[in-house]
Amino acid sequence: MKSGLLGTGLAVLAIALPSAGSAQAPAPCTPAQTASVDITTRDTVQDGTDNPLYATHEVDFSADVNADAHNVHLTPEPGVTVLKPGKGGRGVDLVIPPPPSLTVTVSWEQPDGVGGSCSASGTKTFEVLKATPSNVKLLLANSPRRFQYDVDFQVRAARSKQNLDPIELTLRRSSRAKLPSPRSKALHWSVPMREGERNKAAVRQPGRILGTSRGCQPGWFSCGAVFSEVRQLNIDNTILRGLSFTHPARIDARFGVDVDTRAGADHPRPRPFGFDIQARQSGRLIARYRRAGTCREVPRPTGYHDIITDCRLSVVKNFP
């Protein structure tokens, strides 16, 4: 008897509950009913709101519907990178695509004026301007050849309208006095310039390091036969702090980076090396420096009680 009542109760309950697919979206609003919508933008590297939009920049979009709206969504055109989806059509963090334009769509639900709701949407197209490319400077470019085992270059962001795509570094290394093969395994490091990209998951540093790791600092790009470290630049191109290859996206480099790659000579015994360090931005090669040779540490010839690195270089190639 109890089981029969229980079964009957379940049957009644099943009938009383509407199916999950029965809910329907409100009918479209008529043109006369449709509220207007305002879209504001805030570039994370420019002061104020509603400034011109530059490609590669990170911009916060917010939609304000002039009605008691709900279920508000702001959606960019296909292919646009969304760093943060925001909430209720506000705080939508986008990466501005290449010129000439960006179109966003705002959709929402609002009162229809007769006690119900209706759905509406609107689109707006923004002009997109070209960003200014970063520039590269090789420090100590005119130093004597024997000292050019140490390549220190800076990728500097433009002072305004700057390209904020990540700086993509590629390093190939060799523990022989020759350039590494283009087919050899490379280290890759994508250094973010946009603030919204600095919280990505960390990558692990390679477990095997060429040669000795003596003198290596945690987080360096490379140690052993070839040392390489990457540092964040300040607005005046001074070095601000070192970046970590083990946690590469925890700090962004809005103003650019300093990349110092050199032979890992830290012993009187001759140490052969070779490296090919490259930097790209927006898919374009902006810097490439190649070195190969043999280095060792020797006493300074002037009689001081310190040592210098003495190198015999077989390859010195610079771009630019």
CA distance 3 to 308: 93
Give the bridge partners for 316, in sequence order: 291
Give pLDDT, residue 314. Answer: 94
* List of E strands, 205-249: 226-233, 239-242
- For 11-47, what is each residue's pLDDT tens digit? 332 333 344 444 578 999 999 999 999 999 999 898 8
Residue 87 clears pLDDT 70, i.e. is over it: yes
Helix (H) or strand (E) holding 10: helix 2-16
The band of 194, judged by pLDDT with boundaries at 50, 70 and 90, is very high
pLDDT class for 267, splitting at 50, 70, 90? low
> pLDDT tens digit string along 201-245?
555 544 444 444 456 777 889 988 899 999 999 999 999 888 888
Q: What is the mean pLDDT of residues 121-128?
A: 97
Contact 74, 92 (CB under 8 A): yes
**pLDDT score recorded for residue 208:** 40
Residue 103 in this model has a pLDDT that exceeds 50: yes
Task: Tell me what pLDDT residue 249 has.
Answer: 74
Mean pLDDT, residues 177-197: 94
Structure tokens at 178: 């020759």
pLDDT of residue 52: 96
* Higher pLDDT among residues 5 and 139, named by residue: 139
pLDDT value at residue 19: 41
- 59 vs 81: CA distance, rounded Å: 11
Q: At residue 191, does pLDDT exceed 90?
A: yes
What mean pLDDT is predicted for residues 258-283?
Answer: 89
Looking at residues 277-291, what average pLDDT do you find?
Answer: 98
pLDDT for position 212:
41
Structure confidence at residue 266 (pLDDT): 64
Residue 159 has pLDDT above 70, yes or no: yes
Rounded to two decimals, the pTM is 0.82
Question: By mean pLDDT, which of 42-46, 56-60, 155-159, 282-286 is the weakest?
Answer: 42-46
Q: Would you say residue 137 has pLDDT above 80?
A: yes
Average pLDDT of span 288-312: 80
pLDDT at 317 exceeding the cut of 80: yes
> What pLDDT score does 18 carry?
40
- Residue 316, Cβ neighbours under 10 Å: how many? 14
Strand partners, 187: 171
Domains and CATH numbers, the chain: 27-129 (2.60.40), 135-319 (no CATH)
Q: Closest by alpha carbon to 188, among 206, 170, 207?
A: 170
> What integer pLDDT is reported at residue 218 of this predicted model?
76
Return the pLDDT at 265. Answer: 64
Query: How many degrees, rounded to 5, is the angle at CA 244 between CA 257 and CA 229?
Result: 55
Residue 6 pLDDT > 80, yes or no? no
